[in-house]
């Protein structure tokens, strides 16, 4: 069964409160999403394997550590996942970036796919799927299904705000996918928005409301 990791580093929690504030404007909102994403990237990559490498300091030769050739890709779910890309790339500059375009139909709440472009060697990579909001879980489930259909096997999901319904939905279809979140909020409202949440992440990032 997959695991859920709630990342409660004080810096993540402090910035998350600022992100939730309805008076936080688009510029600051984008900056904070980037900063929280970078801090989450630091936590998510804790278990990356290391290997010994030789390095020559100005004093002598020594054995240092280096990431053991792990191939990574990050996959933001459009649109709101785009807000998390720069934070992840700032710590993982060699990662490739795939994109899955999905929107949630406001009537049915079902995810509708409109774009998918992944690195060609996706089966050999560890994939980090990024979406700031895990609400009903429909979008994350579908995105993970699409990338599994293209051969991806080793997948983690990273969402800033989640709720029990979304976590359960991903669990039931993808028991192999670990989930990393900064918060597990209380519930969904009648429009399937997370309560208390932060509102509509895509609209707040891109000023579309």
Ligand X SMILES: O=c1cc[nH]c(=O)[nH]1
* Active site residues per annotation: 104, 108, 200, 203
From 1-9, 92-100, 127-135, 145-153, span contacting ligand PRP (CB under 6 A): 127-135
| Given 31, 86, 173, 200, the residue binding Mg ion (CB under 5 A) | 200
Alpha helices in the chain (DSSP H): 10-20, 26-44, 85-91, 138-149, 164-173, 201-206
Judged by beta carbon, residue 81 or residue 98, the one nearer ligand X is 81
**C-beta of 31: minimal distance to ligand PRP in Å?**
18
Footprint on residues 42-101 left by ligand PRP (CB under 6 A): 77-80
126 touches Mg ion (CB under 5 A): no
Q: Cα dist. 67→2, 70, 71, 204 in Å? A: 24, 7, 10, 36
The smaller minimum CB distance to Mg ion, of residues 43 and 200, is found at 200
Considering beta carbons, is residue 37 or 136 the nearer one to ligand PRP?
A: 136
- With CB under 6 A as the rule, give the number of residues binding ligand X: 9
Residue set of the binding site: 79, 104, 131-139, 194, 199-201
Q: Are 115 and 99 in contact (CB under 8 A)?
A: yes
Nearest Cα residue to 44 out of 80, 95, 117, 83 = 95
The C-alpha R_g of the chain, in whole angstroms, comes to 18
Q: Which residues pair with 67 in a beta bridge?
A: 50
Return the residue of 41, 157, 197, 205 that touches ligand X, per CB under 6 A. 197
**DSSP conformation class of 133:** B
């Amino acid at each position: 069964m997959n695991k859920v990791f709630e990342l409660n580093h004080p810096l993540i929690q402090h910035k998350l409160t600022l992100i939730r504030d309805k008076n936080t404007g688009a510029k600051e909102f984008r900056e904070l999403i980037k900063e929280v994403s970078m801090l989450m990237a630091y936590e998510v990559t804790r278990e990356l394997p290391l290997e010994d490498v030789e390095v020559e300091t100005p004093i002598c030769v020594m054995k240092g550590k280096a990431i053991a050739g792990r191939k990574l890709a990050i996959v933001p779910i459009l649109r709101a996942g785009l807000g998390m890309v720069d934070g992840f790339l700032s710590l993982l500059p060699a990662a490739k970036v795939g994109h899955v375009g999905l929107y949630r139909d406001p009537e049915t709440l079902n995810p509708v796919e409109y774009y998918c472009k992944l690195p060609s060697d996706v089966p050999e990579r560890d994939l980090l799927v990024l979406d700031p909001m895990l609400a009903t879980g429909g979008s994350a489930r579908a995105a993970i299904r699409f990338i599994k259909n293209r051969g991806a096997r080793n997948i983690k999901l990273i969402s800033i705000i989640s709720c029990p319904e979304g976590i359960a939905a991903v669990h039931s279809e993808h028991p192999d996918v670990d989930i990393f979140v900064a918060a597990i909020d209380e519930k969904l409202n009648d429009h399937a928005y997370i309560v208390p949440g932060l509102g509509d992440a895509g609209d707040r990032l891109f000023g579309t409301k």
